[in-house]
Amino acid sequence: MKRRTRRIIIIAVVAALAIAAILYFAVFKNRQDKLIVYNWYDYIDESVIEQFEEETGIKVNYVNFTTVEEMYTQMTAGNNSYDIVVPSDYIVERLIKEDKLAALDYEKLPNAKANILDTMWAYSYDNGNKYSVPYMWGTMGILYNTEKVNGEITSWSSLFDPQYKNGVFMLDSIRDMMGVMLKYQGYSLNDFSDEALSKVSDLLIEQKNNGIVAGYMVDEVKDKMIAGEGAMAVMWSGDAMYAIMENDKLAYVVPEEGSNVWVDAMCVPKDSKHYDWALKFIDFMCRPDIAKKNYEYIYYASPIKQVVAELPAEEAENVAVNPNEEILAKCETFTDMMDKMEQLNKYWMKIRN
């Protein structure tokens, strides 16, 4: 009797294992057959993915991240394999340095080759776009409330103007904030000499002590500016565009001293198992009708010529989605500075304390 029970248990366990294995491989196989796209959260018109699946028959597994650092950790530390990732410029640079990206074959990217803006090919993070194709891009600047400032804002110096006491929102992001202030003082965005950094941080400490700063924030600033709090805020162009659409008293400017220009670009990791599919997807994103759909959903500046050419007049004049070349000439991208963040943080702690 006892032996029989044991036999039944063994059979049951083996059966359960077999079923589990079948299920596992079914799911696993299913996963293998999909193109895994790893993009920022809320950064695509999802109907575009469906359209891609319909037109090509390739199934897409679309996954998201909210910070590019999270993406970097997932991609390099985890044993996840992604077919397309969409990091920011300086992370692209780091990934190239670490030999994690596959070189792109532009023979298979006719749309990207023909449609990407001429100005988008020579940024230092990936000169010639050998490993990455721009997806969306933008600048950093000042979003201001036209009813609360005197005249037009044109310079970073307005952030230090005593008449805007308790009216200036600064960005709680070390790299970006220090970067644009370096630009304001005539240094390069990536100049991390102690001389430059201490000069800039002295300015920021004085600004805080003078009571001009209303807060150091990231996500909440948009809503505050829309609600009419504060006179101006340091902001990314994409967020600024969103705020302007919600409140037409707001305007965005890239200050004349120059600023940061950033690019989020599509890349194929070296360990992708679907190189050809990935290129198909990237090229699909560069098709004018698709890029336009994405632009109209995200409202970040598009790198696709046709989208820019067909902008409605009002948007074409808005530097938040269509920076002119004069401004761009003064802007720089960030270089990868992972090993310099500690040094930056020392200055930042002094400012915030």
Partner 1 sequence: MKRSFFSGPYALWMVLFTIFPLIFVAFYALTDKNGAFTFANLAQGFENDYMKVLWRSIRLALECTAICLLLGYPCAYILAGKDFSRHKSLFVLILLPMWMNFLLRTYATMTLLEDTGVINSLLEKLGMQPKKLIGTRGAVLFGMVYNYLPFMVLPIHTSVKKMDERVIEAAQDLGANPVRVFFRVKLPLSVPGIISGISMVFMPSVTTFAISRLLGSGMIHMLGDTIENQFMTLNNWQFGSALSLVMMALILLSMGLLNRIDINKSERTNNW
The residue from 84, 177, 214, 321 that contacts partner 1 (CB under 8 A) is: 214
Nearer to partner 1, 72 or 125 (CB): 72
The answer to whether 124 contacts partner 1 (rule: CB under 8 A) is no
In whole angstroms, what is the distance from residue 279 CA to residue 57 CA?
14
Instruction: Please identify, using beta-carbon distances, which residue of 69 and 296 lies nearer to partner 1.
Output: 69
Nearer to partner 1, 22 or 227 (CB): 227
Residues between 317 and 346 that touch partner 1 (CB under 8 A): 338, 341-342, 345-346
Q: Measure the CA–CA gap between 162 and 158, rounded to whole angstroms.
A: 9
Are 137 and 320 spatial neighbours (Cβ–Cβ below 8 Å)?
A: no
Residue 341 CB, shortest distance to partner 1, in Å, is 5
Q: Does 315 bind partner 1 (CB under 8 A)?
A: no
- Closer to partner 1 at the Cβ: 231 or 282? 231
Query: What are 333's two structure tokens?
Result: 């991208």
Instruction: Tell me how far, at minimum, the Cβ of 174 lies from partner 1, in Å.
Output: 7
Residue 216 interacts with partner 1 (CB under 8 A)? yes
Q: Give min distance, CB of 228 to partner 1, in A.
A: 5
Contact 104, 131 (CB under 8 A): yes
Q: Smallest distance from the beta carbon of 63 to partner 1, in angstroms?
A: 20
Least distance from partner 1 to the Cβ atom of residue 319, Å: 27
Out of 227, 273, 289, 324, the only residue in the binding site for partner 1 (CB under 8 A) is: 227
Q: Tell me how far apart the alpha carbons of residues 321 and 252 are, in angstroms, rounded to a whole number.
A: 10
Q: In 3-state terms, what secondary structure has residue 248?
A: coil
* CA dist., res. 303 & res. 306, Å (int): 9
- The answer to whether 217 contacts partner 1 (rule: CB under 8 A) is yes
Shortest distance in whole angstroms from residue 69 CB to partner 1: 6
Question: Is 97 one of the binding residues for partner 1 (CB under 8 A)?
Answer: no
Residue pair 94/336 in contact (Cβ under 8 Å)? The answer is: yes
Helix (H, G, I), strand (E, B) or coil at 305: helix
Residue of the chain from 30, 67, 124, 193 that contacts partner 1 (CB under 8 A): 67
Distance, CA of 201 to CA of 192 (rounded, Å): 12
Query: Which residue in the block uniquely carries the two structure tokens 């090509």?
Result: 56
Task: Determine, following the binding rule CB under 8 A, whether residue 213 of this chain makes contact with partner 1.
Answer: yes
State the virtual CA torsion across 216, 221, 225, 229 in degrees, nearest 10: -50
CB-based contact 331:141 (threshold 8 Å): no
Which of these segments, 116-124, 217-225, 258-266, 297-305, binds partner 1 (CB under 8 A)? 217-225
Considering only residues 164-203, where is the footprint of partner 1 by CB under 8 A?
Answer: 166, 169, 172-175
Closest by CA to 252, choosing from 151, 160, 108, 145, is 145
Size of the site for partner 1 (CB under 8 A): 29
Near partner 1 by CB under 8 A: residue from 62, 196, 215, 330 = 215
Contact 136, 307 (CB under 8 A): no
Q: Which stretch binds partner 1 (CB under 8 A): 126-134, 189-197, 220-228, 250-258?
A: 220-228
Contact 171, 235 (CB under 8 A): yes
> In angstroms, what is the minimal distance from the CB of 220 to partner 1?
7
Pairing of strands 132-145, 261-267: antiparallel
Strand partners, 134: 265
Which span sits near partner 1 by CB under 8 A: 129-137, 192-200, 226-234, 251-259?
Answer: 226-234
Please name every residue paired with 261 in a beta bridge, in sequence order, or none if there are none.
139
Residues that bind partner 1 (CB under 8 A): 67, 69, 73, 166, 169, 172-175, 213-217, 220, 224, 227-230, 338, 341-342, 345-346, 349-350, 352-353
